[in-house]
Amino acid sequence: MRPGKILHPQIASALASLGHGDIILVTDAGAPIPAEANRIDLAFCAGTVDLLEILRVLRQEIFIEDVIFADEVPESNPKLFRDVTEIFTGSGADFTLIPHKKLVADIYTSARVVIRSGSLMPWGNFGLVASTDPDAWFDDSMKMIPEYKERSARIKNNAVPRIKK
């Protein structure tokens, strides 16, 4: 067994296969997941497995540079927005807010893997854009890419995610 690590074999395998820029979509129970998607279904019954718990665990398992979600969330589900902000503070990730219809049309179809939760949570759909450890790729003999340098500083400073539209 892998103490402190994800035990679910499909999720562990999916995370190990990610490359920089790949998207993991974590959804609520009612998400319209495309039939051809690499779907990992964790929905057992209403409320279980919880979407926020999945996000918390993924946040600890992988580097994430961007979290894409519906621009309706801050106003229409402010508690969800606060919870997600808390989860991703210090991750170095930005938040990209897009209309829910665009999220369904673009992110659902381009996600490398889709993890469905059992949460009954309006606008509970999040695209996590995989990244790399910004400090692992450069040593003192190299010039760090500005985006990596900035993300490294945001991780070290426990920065709250910036909102992009």
- Whether residue 67 contacts residue 88, with contact meaning beta carbons closer than 8 Å, is answered with yes
Mark whether 20 is an active-site residue.
Answer: yes
Instruction: Out of 20, 82, 156, 162, pick the active-site residue.
Output: 20
- Whether residue 122 contacts residue 94, with contact meaning beta carbons closer than 8 Å, is answered with no
10 Å Cβ neighbour count for 64?
A: 22
Q: List phi, psi (to 5°) of 152.
A: -60, -45
Length of the chain, in residues = 165
Nearest Cα residue to 20 out of 67, 63, 68: 63
Active site positions, annotated? 20
